[in-house]
């Protein structure tokens, strides 16, 4: 932190408001000499006064401490970047949700299809009953696994597992 730069910035802000050091001193119930010390950088305002100054000048406390205004372009660029990241994340979640729904629908359709075709040995006895039962069991297993994965995703467990794997890979 450069106190002289902060002081110059406070002086600039005061002049933008069209105030003298004495007028500002009255506003914050300090002496004119105190305001002068702030502006020369020999002293800094107390934290409580710093908060009031930031509100009064309508700037961020960080701007006062850094001794300069943050560029509007920087703020707008940051907002645009965050907006794009949020949109990207929302799109990724939507795609994942669609994939999970497709998997679930596919598993249910496969289960129904197998049940209808094989339960009554729909191929006229060409496929042994035991094979039909195995196919139905396999399809039921796939459907159950898909349902469990969907539930894990909805509860956030898949994200936690992914984070833990990333953490363990970084540790190595």
Of 56, 69, 164, 147, nearest in space to 103 by CA: 147
pTM: 0.44
Asked whether the beta carbons of 43 and 32 are under 8 A apart, the reply is no
The residue among 13 and 46 whose pLDDT is bigger is: 13
3-66, which class in CATH?
mainly alpha
Closest alpha carbon to 44 in 60, 61, 56 = 61
Which residues, other chains included, contact 103 with Cβ-Cβ below 8 Å and sequence gap of 6+? Answer: 146, 149, 150
Q: Which long-range contacts (CB under 8 A, 24 or more apart) does 34-43 make?
A: 38/7, 38/10, 39/7, 39/8, 39/10, 39/11, 39/14, 40/4, 40/7, 41/2, 41/3, 41/4, 41/5, 41/6, 41/7, 41/8, 42/3, 42/7
**Pick the residue with more confidence: 124 or 29?**
29
Give me the pLDDT at residue 22, please.
92
Query: Residue 162 is encoded by which pair of tokens?
Result: 């992914």
Asked if residue 9 lies in contact with residue 41, where contact means CB atoms within 8 angstroms, the answer is: no
Could you read off the pLDDT of 30-80 as tens digits, one per residue?
888 999 999 998 888 887 788 888 889 988 888 888 888 876 555 566 667
In degrees, rounded to 5, the angle at the alpha carbon of residue 10 between the alpha carbons of residues 55 and 39 is 140
């Amino acid at each position: 932190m450069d106190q002289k730069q902060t002081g110059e910035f406070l002086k600039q802000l005061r002049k933008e408001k069209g105030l003298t050091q004495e007028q500002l001193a009255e506003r914050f119930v300090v002496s004119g000499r105190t305001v002068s010390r702030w502006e020369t950088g020999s002293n800094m305002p107390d934290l409580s006064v710093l908060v009031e100054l930031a509100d009064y000048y309508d700037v961020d406390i960080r701007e006062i401490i850094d001794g300069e205004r943050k560029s509007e372009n920087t703020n707008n660029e940051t907002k645009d970047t965050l907006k794009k990241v949020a949109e990207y994340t929302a799109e990724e979640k939507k795609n994942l949700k669609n994939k999970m729904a497709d998997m679930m629908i596919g598993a249910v359709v496969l289960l129904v299809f197998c049940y209808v075709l094989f339960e009554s040995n729909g191929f006229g006895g060409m496929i042994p009953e035991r094979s039909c039962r195995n196919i139905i069991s396999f399809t039921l297993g796939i459907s159950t696994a898909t349902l469990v994965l969907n539930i894990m995703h909805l509860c956030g467990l898949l994200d936690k597992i992914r984070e833990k794997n990333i953490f363990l890979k970084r540790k190595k």
